[in-house]
Copies of this chain bind each other. A is one copy, B any other.
Amino acid sequence: MEDNQNIQFQLTDALIEQVELFIELKNDKALRQLLEEFHYADIAEILDEVDLEDAMYVIKLLDSETTSDVLMELDEDNREKVLKNLSAKEIAEEIEELDTDDAADIIAELPENRQAEVISKIEDEDHKAEIKELLAYDEDTAGGLMAKELVKVYETWTVAGCLRRIRGQAQNVSRVHSIYVVDKEEKLVGRLSLKDLITAKSEQKIAELSNSNVDYVYVEEDVEDVAKIMQKYDLEAIPVVDQDKTLLGRITIDDIVDVIREEADKDYQLAAGISQDVEADDSILQLTKARLPWLVLGLFGGLGSVFIMKGFEDIMATVPNLFFYTPLIAAMAGNVGVQSSAIIVQGLANDNVKGSLFNRLIKEVGLSLINGFALALLVILFGYFIGQDTTESVAIAVSMMSVIVVAALVGTFVPIILDKRGIDPAIATGPFITTSNDILGIYLFFIIAGQIIGF
């Protein structure tokens, strides 16, 4: 990485200044020459950094073949601003250059009143009809993710006829993963690869070459399930069909990579107490909206523990130590709960939480007893070291251990129960589990310590 030449594009301040200078000088030729060298994803990175006016200048300068791809790669907030500054006609021109799935995504991002206007300006009638079809599907389903572009052959064709027609179809398909074989009713009956085709004899019938063992998903399948299927079977593309097995479209692995990343980001943000879809560079208002609700939840939890502790105010004079340990108890309850819930949520996401609930209960209790015991010993040792009353140390240690066991059980079973009820278990990680475990933990701590010390 350090010294050797790095092929990865590096966005530098010098480059941005160069672009801004050419725009200021209206030196279109130099600007076009400079940008031509870059991949559209790199141009998008540059445009994400300059101000809107400059970005619009570049977008109007470059041809729509390039800018349509640049648009797709822009940061969502910036894309929204750029689209707002383009006329319906200009957006339609960009859309003509895009694959149907990207085209539908762009249109779906527009305000509703502009959508129909933009669609009406698309000149290619086939493209328009396909985009309209895609817009009808829920964005979280296979239909919402698929593209209409694919290479399709009829089982009755010969290899030679097939190659001839594929040369036509393939022009519209940026990457040919599989060739899908359909019967005369357009139903999916098999697949073959370009490799099969070029290694076959030209007079062979497609039906002979076609592999009928073809994976597919239904158009209403949830995108997360599509992602699981494609990952499990290492697929790079999968055809999408309706209930009659009519071939409707295909989903490619690059779209799935985005689904996987978004899913992982969402779970991570929920665990960290952030409503989804914010980035470090979003506005303060957006960030506040994403963060404040979770903090209010935490505040209510904290106020709950204020109440609980007020209830034990009487013993403050006799065993003040208990009060000094409450942040520790809350922290342990929270940490253990987060650990347990994170493991379960990840296990549920990867489909590897198996076996009976009872076995899981036994295991979680065993695990938390081991952890709790080790931590309790440390607490007793600490108490001995600072010359704390032994009964109090033992009471604190034992009740902490109980809190740890309960926190682990809450952390394990709340996500499982949510999942069984069809609710995303990831909401039970982070602030939700920490807050409830804080209150529960502090309450249990005083009750159990009270039993041992006797108050």
Residue numbers in B under 8 Å from A184 (CB-CB):
none
Question: Per-residue CB proximity of A314-342 to B under 8 Å, as 1/0?
Answer: 00110010011111111110111011011
Q: Known interface pairs A198-B163, A296-B378. Does A257 touch B254 (Cβ–Cβ under 8 Å)?
A: no
Asked if B296 contacts A375 (CB within 8 A), the reply is yes
A320 to chain B, nearest CB (A): 6
Give chain B residues whose Cβ lies under 8 Å from the Cβ of A309.
323-324, 327
What string of 1s and 0s marks CB contacts (under 8 Å) between A35-55 and chain B?
000010100000001000000
Contact A281 B353 (CB under 8 A): yes
Minimum CB–CB distance for A84 against chain B, Å: 22
Q: With contacts A217-B7, A264-B261 known, is A434 near B342, CB below 8 A?
A: no
Residue among A236, A269, A316 facing the most chain B CB atoms (10 A cut-off):
A236
Provide the residues of chain B in CB contact with A225, threshold 8 Å.
1, 8
Q: Does A135 lie at the interface of the complex (its beta carbon under 8 Å from any beta carbon of B)? A: no
The smallest beta-carbon distance between A235 and chain B, in angstroms, is: 8
Report which of B287, B324, B366, B434 forms a contact with A284, defined as CB distance below 8 A.
B366
- Output the nearest chain B residue to A272 by Cβ-Cβ distance: B342
Residue in A7, A215, A280, A324 whose Cβ sees the most chain B Cβ within 10 Å: A280
Instruction: Knowing A279-B352, A292-B371, say if A339 contacts B272 (CB, 8 Å).
Output: yes
**A234 contacts partner chain B, Cβ-Cβ < 8 Å:** yes
How far is B210's CA from A320's CA once the two chains are assembled, in angstroms?
A: 79
A355 within 8 A of B: yes
- A354 contacts which of B49, B232, B360 (Cβ < 8 Å)? B49
- A447 adjacent to chain B (CB < 8 Å): no
Q: Is A310 an interface residue (CB 8 A)?
A: yes
Q: Mark A249-282, 1 if CB is under 8 A from B, else 0.
A: 0000110110011001101110111100011110
CB of B306 within 8 A of CB of A8, answer: no
Binary interface profile of A, 416-455, with partner B (CB < 8 Å = 1, else 0)? 0000000000000111001100100010000000000000
- Interface residue A33 (Cβ < 8 Å from any Cβ of B): no
Please measure, in the bound complex, the distance between the C-alpha atom of A58 and the C-alpha atom of B267, giving whole angstroms.
Answer: 37
* Closest Cβ–Cβ distance, residue A285 to chain B (whole Å): 9
Report the separation of the CA atoms of residues A221 and B343 in the bound assembly, to the nearest whole angstrom: 31
Contact with B along A185-222 (1 / 0, CB 8 A): 00000000111011100000000000000011110111
**A338 with B273: CB separation less than 8 A:** yes
Cβ–Cβ contact B218 & A4, under 8 A = yes
- A323 vs B322: C-alpha distance when bound (angstroms): 11
Does A156 sit at the interface, judged by CB under 8 A?
Answer: no
Closest to A72 in B: B234
In the complex, the answer to whether A236 meets B8 with C-beta atoms within 8 Å is no
Residues of B contacting A435 in the complex (Cβ-Cβ under 8 angstroms): 331
CB distance A167 to B303 under 8 Å?
Answer: no
A161: interface (CB < 8 Å): no
With CB as the reference atom, state the residue of chain B lying closest to A278.
Answer: B343
Partner of A334, one of B220, B234, B329, B334: B334
Residue in B229, B301, B374 whose CB lies within 8 Å of A8 = B229
Query: Which residues of chain B have C-beta atoms less than 8 A from A354's C-beta?
Result: 49, 281
Knowing A305-B327, A328-B306, the reply to whether A281 touches B347 (Cβ < 8 A) is yes
Given A265-B346, A288-B370, A295 and B335 touching (CB < 8 A)?
A: yes
A367 CB to closest chain B CB (Å) equals 5
Instruction: Check if A23 is an interface residue, CB within 8 A of chain B.
Output: no
A60 near B: Cβ within 8 Å?
A: no
By a CB distance below 8 angstroms, the chain B residues around A323 are: 309, 316, 323-324, 326
A222: B residues at CB distance < 8 A: 1
Can you offer 14 A-B residue contacts whose CB atoms are under 8 A? A4-B220, A8-B225, A41-B234, A175-B193, A198-B198, A236-B236, A268-B342, A280-B344, A280-B346, A280-B360, A292-B375, A298-B335, A316-B320, A331-B435
* Other 4 A-B pairs with CB < 8 A, given A268-B346, A274-B339, A284-B366: A273-B342, A279-B343, A280-B360, A292-B370
